[in-house]
Amino acid sequence: MPNDIVLPTNALVGLLMAVGAIQCLYGYRAFKVVLVIVGFILGYALAFAAIETMFHHKYAAFLVGMVAGVVAGSLINNVYLIGVFVVSAMFGGAVALQLYAIAGQHPEPIMLFIFAVLGGLLALFFQKLMIIIATALSGAWGVVAGIAWFATAAIDPVNIASVQKVFRAGDAQGYIIVVCWLALGLIGVLFQYQRLPGMKAGYTPE
């Protein structure tokens, strides 16, 4: 069995774009699906990193990561409020990373933590609004960054360092990406809100 598992970058970015488009436009309606995906990613990433660090065997880390991902996805979906907090906290941290990238600076861990906690707490008080904003903007980033990858390969959607590199270069391309991201995110927010006429009547995700 191979000790290395490498998935084509183009395939990963294409998957990110597809998931991002669905998340951007239907994130609130399909939020429980989003929770499962987020739980799986977190469980997989943590387990993979732990096993790979201890045993230096990526195949074993992959298998353990898959199992941990399935378990974590199931757990986070069954504890709804915790799931809402985790997803919104991740969004808050991602916003902080984007701001640091635009500023061309290295992110400060304490600020990432503050943004993450703030995002999670806001979601507990403004649950529906934060879910829509978080899913619309995070999904929009997947789509826009994916298009940028296929068009110029200048930015890796899952590598914040590549985002910082674009802005540090002073190229207008980075700012075009941000404008497109915010525009698509706004479209996603409005689309989700219009698609949920029952929101104010207490609609909950399916």
Average pLDDT for residues 90-102, to the nearest whole number? 80
Token pair for 96? 């902080």
Nearest partner of 88 among 128, 57, 146, 59, judged by Cα: 128
The H or E element containing residue 121 is: helix 109-125
d(CA 76, CA 37): 10
Average pLDDT for residues 94-115, to the nearest whole number? 81
Q: What angle do CA 12, 17, 18 make, to 5 degrees?
A: 100
d(CA 72, CA 36): 8
Is this structure's pTM higher than 0.75? no
Token pair for 25? 């436009």
pLDDT at 200 over 80: no
Read off the pLDDT of residues 10-68 as tens digits, 9 standing for 90 and up: 777 787 888 889 889 988 888 888 788 878 888 888 888 888 788 777 788 888 888 98
Domain boundaries, the chain: 9-196
